[in-house]
Structure 1
Amino acid sequence: MFQVSGFEKFLPTPQEVRRVKILHWKAMEEVSNTDTAKKVLKPSKGLLQSEELYQYVLETSVYPREPEPLKELRDATANHPRASMATAPDAGQLMALLLKLVNAKKTIEIGVFTGYSLLLTALSLPDDGKIIAIDINRETYDIGLPFMRKAGVEHKIDFIESHALPVLDKLLEDRENEGSFDFAFVDADKDNYWNYHERLMRLLRVGGIVVYDNTLWGGTVVVPDESLVPEGMRFSRHHTIELNKSLAADPRIQSSLIPMGDGVTVCRRLY
Structure 2
Amino acid sequence: MAMACPSSPLPLLLPLRSCPKPLFSPSFASALARRRLRVLRAGNSAVASTTVAAAAAGDDEVAKCGRKQVISLTPELYRYLLSNVREHPILRELREETATMRGSQMQVSPDQAQLLAMLVQITGAQRCIEVGVYTGYSSLAVALVLPESGRLVACERDEKCLGIARKYYEHAGVSRKVVIKQALAADTLRSLISNGEACSYDFAFVDAEKRMYDEYFELLLQLVRVGGLIVIDNVLWHGKVADPQVKDSKTVSLRNFNKKLLADKRVNISMVPIGDGMTICRKMTDS
Q: Which of these residues, 144, 149, 154, is aligned with residue 128 of structure 1?
A: 149
1:48–1:54 Cα contact (<8 Å) kept: no
The CA deviation string for residues 180-229 of structure 1, in whole angstroms up to 9 with x for no partner, is: 001000000011111111111111011100110100011111123227xx
Which AA in structure 1 matches 2:73? Q
| Cross-structure match for 1:257 | 271
5 Å-filtered alignment, 1:134-213, equals: 134-175=155-196, 177-213=197-233
Q: Which of these residues, 50, 57, 76, is aligned with residue 52 of structure 1?
A: 76
Which AA in structure 1 matches 2:173? G
Q: Which of these residues, 97, 101, 112, is aligned with residue 122 of structure 2?
A: 101
Between the aligned partners of 1:181 and 1:107, the Cα distance in structure 2 is 6
Task: Give the secondary structure class of the aligned counterpart of 1:108.
Answer: strand
Q: Is 1:269 matched up with 2:278?
A: no
The CA deviation string for residues 59-107 of structure 1, in whole angstroms up to 9 with x for no partner, is: 1x21xx2111111111111111211010111111110110001111111
The CA deviation string for residues 214-271 of structure 1, in whole angstroms up to 9 with x for no partner, is: 00011111123227xxxxxx22111110110011111011111100101011001111
Higher helix share: 1
Between the aligned partners of 1:38 and 1:255, the Cα distance in structure 2 is 21
Which AA in structure 1 matches 2:283? R
Q: How many Å apart are 1:48 and its aligned residue?
A: 5.1
2:132–2:208 Cα contact (<8 Å) kept: yes
| Cross-structure match for 1:27 | none
Between the aligned partners of 1:224 and 1:210, the Cα distance in structure 2 is 27
1:207–1:269 Cα contact (<8 Å) kept: yes
Between the aligned partners of 2:155 and 2:40, the Cα distance in structure 1 is 33
Between the aligned partners of 2:182 and 2:72, the Cα distance in structure 1 is 35
1:186–1:210 Cα contact (<8 Å) kept: yes
Structure 1: 5+ residue stretches without partners: 1-31, 228-233
Task: Give the secondary structure class of the aligned counterpart of 2:269.
Answer: strand
Larger RCO (CA within 8 A; separation ≥ 6)? 1
Between the aligned partners of 1:226 and 1:202, the Cα distance in structure 2 is 32
Aligned residues: 225
Structure 2: 5+ residue stretches without partners: 1-34, 46-70
Q: Judging changes above 3 Å, is the alpha-carbon distance between structure 1 residues 224 and 256 closer, same or farther for their aligned structure 2 residues?
A: same
- TM-score normalised per structure 2: 0.74
Task: Give the secondary structure class of the aligned counterpart of 2:134.
Answer: coil
* Percentage of matched positions with identical amino acids: 38
- TM-score normalised per structure 1: 0.78
Larger Rg: 2
Between the aligned partners of 1:51 and 1:136, the Cα distance in structure 2 is 34
RMSD of aligned Cα (Å): 2.3
Task: Give the secondary structure class of the aligned counterpart of 2:270.
Answer: strand
Q: Judging changes above 3 Å, is the alpha-carbon distance between structure 1 residues 104 and 243 closer, same or farther for their aligned structure 2 residues?
A: same
